[in-house]
A and B are shown apart, each in its own frame.
Chain A
Amino acid sequence: MHLEYQVFEADFVNAGAASSSIKKTLKQLNVNPQIVKRVVVALYEAEVNAIAHAYGGMIYADIEADKIIVKVVDKGPGIPDIEWAMQEGNSTASPEVRNMGFGAGMGLPNIRKNVDRLDVQSTVGVGTTVEMEVHF
């Protein structure tokens, strides 16, 4: 099953809408609650990333009988050093974003902790694609 969601830059009010919708779907599919939780936590982080650090983007989710693959494609600015960004505490977030409780540098590391596969591709000036996979 294929699901799509659009996310907008700085739309903090709706942060979590896509993860909530996917959560609702997985619960109906009888996916183990602990696995649902991992998907939701990882996706929420990725969703907030696209809202807080990028200029918005799209979320594509594909659910199959044994796994979910979620792709979060944002519209830039891109991550210059992915390896650096994957380390806990590293963040380029502006003070404004940090004041809202985001941008602690825990986003990507937290995603990695919760998924079975994580693939981050980024081109500065173009955007970042975060692809994650969780097995049921």
Chain B
Amino acid sequence: MDKTPFFHALTIDQETCIGCSHCMKACPTEALRVRNGKAILQPDRCIDCGNCFKVCPTKSIYIKQDDFDDIFNYACRVALVPSVFMGQFPNDITVSRIYQILKEIGFTYIIETEATVPIYTEAKNRYAAEHPDIRPLISTYCPAIVRLIQVKFPGLTDNLIPIKAPIDLTAMYIRRKLEKEDWNPEDIGIFYITPCAAKIAAVKTPVGEDKSLVDGVINMDSLYNRVFKRIKEQGHGFKEQKLPVSQLSADGVLTALTNGERRLSNAKHSYSIDEIHNVIEFLEKVENDEVENVDFLELRACDQSCPGGILTCDNRFMMCERIFARARKIAERERNGEQTKDHEIEAERNFLARNVKVGEIKPRSMLVLDEDITQALAKMQRINQLRAKLPQRDCGVCGAPTCDALARDIVMGEAELSDCIFLKNKD
């Protein structure tokens, strides 16, 4: 089992937290407890999905990010921007204008994360063809899903496709390109603009990799503010000078949306499922072998996939529609022959294909009571005895999300039976 500690981007401000337990109830992996009136995070259970962040009434859960000014530590400052970022802005703000503003505020090079999607898709389809014995194959595109499977469905870790996600592939590509242009490797800083906490965690402690290919992470909401401020300053009559934007394909633009991968998969039978509870419900079935003849699963932790990320700045459905509209325009250009494949990336296809794999993704089950089965059995007996005593109302006053979780916490030495308000009142 993998024992390296998880980095978590989600942090709870112990000063402002009022211990209301909203977050604890919202957590799909029961990673939160309220102790001494404050919420605390159990790092081994948290998958950085961000559900707690969404429900916190006092905004005490925040997402650590790198200081924006860190970009100026590098001479060559790359913004690695997911296409979702563009989907936040009204239709009259063109992609080229956003590129231009990103340059004005300090970046020297802009590339969209999905630029390497054609190579990513091919690698996944090739992996599927080479491993006909592993079914269903599960996409590793969403890092919260990878962690969910590691902690809650350890038996399915072998089903994860060990292929770098577009963020890493594109970071690898851009670094190589810039080094070929004679940039000193130390002068290149690649900054990912993240729509969610899970991607930050994945960058800081990548699963199946020794070192991240990205040098820093900037939260999408903070960059959105910077860009929007600039748009306001420029005012209505602003005349933009058209900048050449990347040759992002229609397929690439759509990848971040639900069904974005499934539509490009060669799999005969596949599902695309978004929102973490939906995913958990489905994976329970997959784990039981109750879902037959499935070849591929595209699973995303957020509703509507990346537009539903906790750091995006507009309504997720409106963002989806804008992203669709952009993809439709590109698709038309592709059909008319006005836009072709990105030749520079195609030239690196072999290099990227050689380096597309990640190392083994190991289980890190949060469920195990004890490594030793005799001890684990004894603990479980004790949990069952306690469970019979507890009121089963799951009120959460004790600081655990359910009575079962309290029983477990007691046996694991993290809580006491007197924490239960019902039992306390009985005495």
Contacts and interface: CB of A to CB of B under 8 A. Distances in A.
B373 interface: yes
A136 B373 contact: yes
Contacts of B155: 27, 33-34, 36-37
Interface string B277-295: 0000000110111100000
Nearest to B374: A65
Given A36-B155, A65-B377, A28 B289 contact: no
Interface size class of A (residues with CB under 8 A): 20 to 34
Interface stretch (B64-72, B188-196, B326-334, B363-371): B363-371
8 contacts: A24-B367, A27-B367, A28-B380, A29-B376, A29-B380, A30-B372, A30-B376, A31-B373
B377 A63 contact: yes
Contacts of B287: 23, 37, 40
A129 interface: no
Interface size class of B (residues with CB under 8 A): 20 to 34
Interface of B: 154-157, 284-285, 287-290, 363, 365, 367-374, 376-377, 380-381, 384
B288 A19 contact: yes
B289 A37 contact: yes
Contact of B381 (A1, A19, A31): A1
What is the interface of chain B mostly: helix, strand, loop, or mixed?
helix
A76 B289 CA distance: 26
Interface of A: 1, 16, 19-20, 23-25, 27-31, 33-34, 36-37, 40-41, 44, 63-66, 136
Contacts of B365: 27, 30
Contacts of B289: 37, 40-41, 44
Nearest to A114: B289
B381 A44 contact: no
Contacts of B373: 29-31, 65-66, 136
Nearest to A63: B377
Contacts of A33: 154-157, 363
